[in-house]
Structure formats: structure tokens, C-alpha cells
Amino acid sequence: MKQDTEALLAVLRRAPVVPVLIVDRVEHAIPLAKALVAGGLPALEVTMRTPAALEVIRAMSTVEGAIVGAGTVLDPEMADAAVAAGAKFMVSPGATETILAHALKIGVPLLPGVATAGEAMRARDAGYRIMKFFPAGPAGGPVYLKALASPLADVLFCPTGGVSEKNAPEYLALPNVVCVGGSWVAPADAMNNGDWGRIEDLARAAMDLAV
């Protein structure tokens, strides 16, 4: 079995930025998703870092135009719970044999996290061609990722971790980057204040980062 690259690319190529969302309150889910989709960012990664995450995924999945995924998926149990809540894709911070095999088994696209050439090769051996480069900044940034383009010519990356509106264009200019993941489009203070207009504006600005 191999990663469904066509299904994953159909999601990741919708916009240059995939919002990485840490949402503590379920009541924020729908207005947040609506603001991001209205700003042009339909692929939403809801990290499984809060007790509300599954309910947030379930609520966001009702928003027209939203393609909701689950982030910080660490094991098969988390994967199954996320999919049951409505997640259409999954993102993991690393790439264990267990999570790689389980994602292929259940047939839901997984973006596995890698930080080195060796990790990328192991994920590639397991059938994956699109990966999350994480944590992008500490792992070497655009310079390191550029160095992987030639030896791993058939692998694409979504760098996440230390990616901002300032350095995103440098990543997006690389031939082996399909998009970036970032949390700056949904700052905690804007969510807590219900400033959905600001989040929509940040999403629109992120759309302009494509090169």
C-alpha cells in the first residue's frame, strides 16, 4: 500500500498555507473555520492537543468549504478517533512504523512528520511521498530542505514549526515544498476576543504568500 498522494495534494494545493490550530473552546470552532475559509484557507489542521479537539473537528466539519484534518496524531487510537469525528486528513509530528502502517490501513491521508533525510527515506520506504518537515526551523529551515530536493527528488514537503509570514515565501519558493503550515493566521488573542475579521484578514494575506 502507498500514500494516496492525489487525495493529499488535492487538499494541500488548495492554498499556500495550512492553518495549524490549537482550539481550546468548541464555541470558537465554527466562526474560526468560517473566517479562515472566507479568507481563502480551506484546509484546516486541528491539533489534538486540547480536550476539545475532537468536538472542534466535528463542529468545523459542518462548515461549508472547510476540509478539516487532525494534527498531532500520535497513535492508531488517536487516528481512529479523529476520523470518527470527521477528519479528512491527518498530520503527525513524527513517523513511527505503527502510525505509518495504520494510516495506510484505514485509507485516510496522513502527512507524516520527518526532520532528517534518514527519516524521510524510512517514510518513503513505507510508501509515503508527501511529508511534514518538522520542526522546520530547528531542523535546518529552507537551506536544509533545499538540500533534500535533489537526492529525494520524488518527495514533497509541508514545512511546519517556526514558519511565519516572514519566512514562508522562502519555503514556498523551493521546488520540493507544496505548502507550509502555520499558526500565525489564527492567533490566540484574536480567537479569545472573537475577532474573526482579523483572522479572515490574516488568511487573505497568507494567500498572497504564494510565489
Q: Which residues are catalytic?
A: 45, 132
Cα separation, 84 vs 119, whole angstroms = 29
Residue 127 and residue 106 in contact, taking contact as beta carbons nearer than 8 Å: no
Cα separation, 90 vs 108, whole angstroms = 7
Question: Is residue 51 exposed (0-12), middle (13-18) or buried (19+ Cβ within 10 Å)?
Answer: exposed
Question: Is residue 206 exposed (0-12), middle (13-18) or buried (19+ Cβ within 10 Å)?
Answer: buried
At what angle are helices 76-85 and 53-60 packed, to 10 degrees? 40
